[in-house]
Amino acid sequence: MTTPLALPGLAGKVVVVTGAARGQGLAEALVLLASGATVIATDIAPDAPADLASSADLPGLAHYRQLDVTDEAGWTELASWLGSEFGRVDGLVNNAGIPFRGRIGEIARDDWDRVFAINVTGAMLGIQALSPLMNAGASIVNIGSSAALNAHHTVAYTSSKWALRGLTHVTATEFGARGIRTNIVHPGYIETEMMAAAPAIMTDAQLALTPLERTGQPEEVAAVVAFLLSDASAYVNGAEIPVDGGFTSSAGVKYMSDIIKNSQKTT
């Protein structure tokens, strides 16, 4: 395991990360541990991932808890344990999520409901359960998607991430007076196990539309998440931050611009 990036302003904070067994969630947990935070890494898997289990040399403290984010009783149990163990929660990263590539004409109701249960309801239940343990200075970070900023064909996934934007802004408004901040990060095409099954043509199209002309790494998302949890972002609330190499900023214009530029070279 390579040494994760360490950020200031996180030492001693108690942070819960969902979906932390792999990919972005694991990267977020490791960056927080490298920064000296106490991390409660949760996932549906019964056992902690090997990288988390071998993180004892990092300055933070890791705890692994099995959690199904759609299970309200599971959140209640976690909140009770956190209250007795630490007396507070300083950060919550609602990272757990699933993709589903069905289009509007083919999506089944059960698949739609499952995607929303994990991607939206799971985050809402986490906020409900853990916010009573939060004090001024605490931070909630929801993990959205570039699909929440434009119209991807994946109807259930895209719609769920748009809904998560709404949850983010409601929570930022509701909890602001308590000094609790809520923000959302929108990863673009990040190289994780979730994206490994994507067809090659999808990767090629993504690169053609992304100004940085490369895919992203989980650690690059994790660094932004850690910043939003840290004291360095103390006046950032209700923000939406894309981590996508400029994909949503360009909105397809890069592709058109490259075609025009290349055509001019040949004339």
Active site residues: 157
Instruction: Give the Cα separation of 86 and 261 in Å (integer).
Output: 58
- Rounded to whole angstroms, the maximal C-alpha distance in the chain is 72
Instruction: Give the Cα separation of 120 and 24 in Å (integer).
Output: 17
Q: Are 244 and 187 in contact (CB under 8 A)?
A: yes
The single residue listed with the structure tokens 């108690």 is: 14
CA separation, residue 175 to residues 95, 134, 142, 181, 238 (Å):
20, 10, 15, 7, 11
- Tell me the one-letter amino acid at 121: T
Q: Is 187 helix (H, G, I), strand (E, B) or coil?
A: strand
CA atoms within 13 A on the CB side of 264: 6
Q: Where are the beta strands (DSSP E) in the chain?
A: 14-17, 38-43, 61-66, 91-94, 139-143, 181-187, 240-243
Task: Return the bridge partners of 94, or none.
Answer: 142
The single residue listed with the structure tokens 């071998």 is: 54
The single residue listed with the structure tokens 């991390």 is: 39
Task: Return the bridge partners of 242, or none.
Answer: 186
Q: Are 99 and 92 in contact (CB under 8 A)?
A: no
Instruction: Give the Cα separation of 166 and 151 in Å (integer).
Output: 16
